[in-house]
Amino acid sequence: MQIFRAIADIRSVGASVVTVGTFDGVHLGHQAIIQQVKDFAANHSRQSTIVTFDPHPRKVLGKGPVTILTTTAEKLDIFADAGIDQVVVIPFSREFAALSSEAFVTSVLVDKLTVREMVVGYDHHFGRNREGGFEALQQLGRRHGFTVHQVPQLVNGGEAVSSTYIRQLLETGDVAKAARFMGRRYCIEGIVKPGDGRGKQIGFPTANLELSEADKQVPGRGVYAVDVEVDQQSYGGMMNIGIRPTFDFDYLTLEAHLFNFNDSLYEKKLKVRFKKFLRPEKKFSGIEELRAQLKKDKQMCEFI
């Protein structure tokens, strides 16, 4: 897969089928769009192409706090696994946001990517003040010689698939349902930093995780069954997200305990995939009650 990280770097190798969007989460709805791009490209021997943005447009435009479901690196990995031919990652800025939809289509999609077909979602808008909707794109397509296809909203189990809904699921800890809407388990990555060593003292050493991406969505407080990847090896485990009320802490920590792992994890990069919410965070009467509960948590994880 070829990756262009600036408009000026694009070197078209022929006509393309293009989709444009932030694609945060690359959920099942996004995957349906990507599949159509691939199908149209294969049918006409064209380049399957995704145009996306970094950072998230809402962050640049100041439209409230932004938490992301997938980093740009994660999205690129997913696009590559999907078999996309080329991806354009446009550095999103206020100057770029000021472009009209017609200027964007002409300067990027037509002049640079030689677009012949475009695939968009049911609610797709882009360009200055989100002026470029489906009908406007159709008009531009007739003017510049490309066809626009619209993918309807995807519904899963009677519920619409969206990045916003997935964020809500994660906030409540429902990582299992979020995975069904994303088509894969939700994942966070980070570097292990020194903690206070309390986990080791009670027989459950934990890795204190510092997120690689500060804007990454963190699931709600509680204990989770997880899989943890370190040094390209995967281990079962459990993760606590919370303030550790038993020890009177007042700041959020992300602590992972890996099963059957005895080496040092300090400064290692961990990739944590969430399998299931086990229980809410709780203040225990002391270390013995906490240790007993952790043993029960581990036993539950072994059956998930």
**pLDDT tens digit string along 179-192?**
999 999 999 999 99
- pLDDT value at residue 214: 87
Contact 34, 80 (CB under 8 A): no
Domains within the chain, CATH numbers bracketed: 2-160 (3.40.50.620), 185-301 (2.40.30.30)
Helices (H), the chain: 28-44, 57-61, 72-82, 94-97, 101-104, 134-144, 163-171, 175-182, 198-201, 287-301
pLDDT tens for 32-50 read 999 999 999 999 999 999 9
Place of tokens 């990507």: 34
Place of tokens 């292990």: 192
Tens digit of each residue's pLDDT, the chain (304 residues): 999 999 999 987 799 999 999 999 999 999 999 999 999 999 999 999 999 999 988 888 877 678 999 999 999 999 999 999 999 999 999 998 888 888 999 999 999 999 999 999 988 877 666 666 888 899 999 999 999 999 999 999 999 999 999 999 999 999 999 999 999 999 999 999 987 666 666 778 889 999 988 899 999 999 999 999 999 999 999 999 998 666 666 678 899 999 999 888 999 999 999 999 999 988 887 888 889 999 999 999 988 8
Residues near 225 by Cβ (< 8 Å), separated by ≥ 6?
Answer: 236, 237, 238, 274, 275, 276, 278, 300, 301, 304
- pLDDT value at residue 197: 63
Query: What is the pTM (predicted TM-score) of this model?
Result: 0.92
Nearest to 20 by CA among 80, 97, 109: 109
Please give the structure tokens belonging to residue 227.
């899989």
Please give the structure tokens belonging to residue 188.
């966070």
**Cα separations (Å) of 151 from 31, 37, 180?**
11, 11, 20
In this structure, which amino acid lies at residue 23?
A: F
